[in-house]
Chains A and B, each alone.
Chain A
């Protein structure tokens, strides 16, 4: 099991004829993702690496039965691409594009409320269910299947965290990067709720950064609703206030949004906060071992104990 993507994912890539689009579509295909269509207006009828290209998302849905879309189009066209996908009945849209104007995203968010579509991103690495399906730009080989769910606002920082988890024998159920922009389609909270319903996920890693208050809200929800061990990490303890640190969302304004405040809020809600990124994997191994010894495969990932199959545990959401 996993959240949002699985064996039934039929992926469409919007912008597949671009350099980035083609490169990442190919990487996803090699990972095992079923890529059923590409969309580039005006290039319908052609093929990219064996994948049929359509002019519109509606056509790709009708003819190739796409149910998920990954968007890699330039920022001026990205909001339109998201809304086109939602309008055509796509259930999950993953927008990788960075630098979409904020007002475009406000309109997109209002528009999506009228549809049943979930948006992940923009400005995100996408998501991956290790060993099954990759919808994003993350390097596949660092991931291993397992019981830990990962939610993050960053790209490469998530890779670092996942790499350390894998090295300590902690496989992942689904890893999801929600994006570094101030307005994103899917929040920490949405992901937490989905992970809580997933029987495979028995531990969570939450990677946040300065700015906004999403981490604090997530922490409160975890305290009130979630009964599984959670490890948190917050980047930006040394960030100066008022400066935008790369991500449009990462700015400390006034006394809100600081790393110290977020860490405090997380600890108050029972989350195990790791402050040393160099020891993240070891920290997780200790926490997940103490709180749920059955989920840790041990340092040697080649020999997982027999009782770690997903179906021997049920989701542990508080009623």
Chain B
């Protein structure tokens, strides 16, 4: 779960990390009040769950009240399209108004768990304020990586090494020790999958400041962080994806017109690939999970039908824990409740498959049964050819 910048900074400030003074505003008037109180110049920053805001015009500097009014009016309500938002972009409902800062040097710091080594990884660079992936590709020697054993924790030598590699001076190094310790503590105590400070600036006042902060919390750990769970903001998300989440269905909308419903993430991805191979395009990823019941199947089916782009549906279930008769009952119930005006191909295999097939056959619904995956692919290819 991603946090907004202002939420991330509030969290990090609680760990003694230095963040610029700032206020959140949802309209021009309250934004101006905030700017007046902070004093000019100010930075006005769109609060959306996507990187690349600066390039898309979502971050602006204002030297006085007039510029602030102009910046607020242009950012609030704008639809931001960045490399990370996708084509439809996302609407800006909130801005963070922050005190302007005189920057002497910009660094990059992030802490994240590294899946390959099973350690905590600290990444540092003197090339702050830029696209760090581009720095890593162009000048890999400018990126420092420190691995920390999660059991032993962060040690002074880790910080010392990073301080030397970043070529910090004595004054900076002392502050850097506290800063890194606190950031590491914030990450481990809050189950953060990412804390990225880009840039971490050293100001004319000889202090470090977290100018930007990107934080992602492990959704699986929210049960022990009620305060963070309350920060969830789903306004940017696709309404069908939200609806699916209510029923514990794992749904991602894509661009094609063949809706799919599958049990298991791996099989769901493989089924999307199968549709593509058949010359069609999947409209979604929908994993109903191993423990799905008839009600979940019914909701999954409704969500597929609610997408106007879907012109045909492929249901692919390998019954293990989820039995085929349960699936069949869910499909029949959903089909009865909704008028289906498109071809639906059902392929199922595994536990209680005979009973499942009998239920589908006896329902008098116009369902197309596939005996195996190859048969399903051929039937989808036929249908897609006629769309």
Contact = CB atoms under 8 A, between A and B. Distances in A.
Interface centre among B119, B282, B321 (most CB of A within 10 A): B321
Contacts of A106: 113, 118-120, 150
Given A103-B218, A277-B274, A239 B374 contact: no
Interface centre among A99, A106, A237 (most CB of B within 10 A): A106
A157 B372 contact: no
Interface string A221-244: 000000000000101111110110
B269 interface: yes
A197 interface: no
Nearest to A181: B115
A279 interface: yes
A158 interface: yes
Contacts of B223: 75-76
A132 B321 CA distance: 21
A206 interface: no
Interface in B344-375: 349-351, 372-375
Contacts of B350: 139, 142, 159, 163
Interface stretch (B61-69, B88-96, B260-268): B260-268
A156 B277 contact: no
Contacts of A183: 113, 115, 118
A160 B266 CA distance: 10
Interface stretch (A51-59, A208-216, A264-272, A300-308): A208-216
A275 interface: yes
B223 to A, nearest CB: 6
Interface in A117-146: 125, 137-139, 142
Given A137-B290, A139-B319, A180 B265 contact: yes
Contacts of B120: 106
A121 to B, nearest CB: 14
For the side of the interface on B, what is the size category?
A: 35 or more
A163 B318 CA distance: 10
A137 B321 contact: yes
Nearest to B84: A242
B116 A152 contact: no
Interface centre among B119, B224, B275, B290 (most CB of A within 10 A): B290
Nearest to B351: A139
A89 interface: no
A163 B264 CA distance: 16
A246 B318 CA distance: 16
Given A106-B113, A106-B119, A160 B220 contact: no
A102 B191 contact: yes
Contact of A155 (B152, B275, B290): B290
A142 B252 CA distance: 30
Contacts of B281: 238
B115 to A, nearest CB: 4
A155 B218 contact: no
B273 A102 contact: no
B17 interface: no
Interface residues of A, number: 59
A101 B149 contact: no
Interface in B110-164: 113, 115-116, 118-120, 133, 149-152
Interface string B171-198: 0000000000000000010010100000
Contacts of A212: 115-116
B263 to A, nearest CB: 5
Contacts of A139: 319-320, 350-351
B320 A156 contact: yes
A163 B269 CA distance: 18
A213 B272 contact: no
Contacts of B318: 156, 159-160, 163
B345 to A, nearest CB: 13
Contact of A163 (B151, B152, B349): B349
Interface in A234-268: 235-240, 242-243, 245-250, 254, 259
B273 A103 contact: no
A207 interface: yes
Contact of A245 (B285, B374, B376): B285
B231 interface: no
A315 interface: no
A14 interface: no
B240 interface: no
Interface of A: 20, 75-76, 99-104, 106-107, 109-111, 125, 137-139, 142, 152-160, 163, 180, 182-183, 207, 209-210, 212-213, 233, 235-240, 242-243, 245-250, 254, 259, 275-279
Closest 7 A/B residue pairs (Cβ):
A154-B266, A246-B265, A156-B264, A278-B374, A157-B266, A110-B151, A101-B221
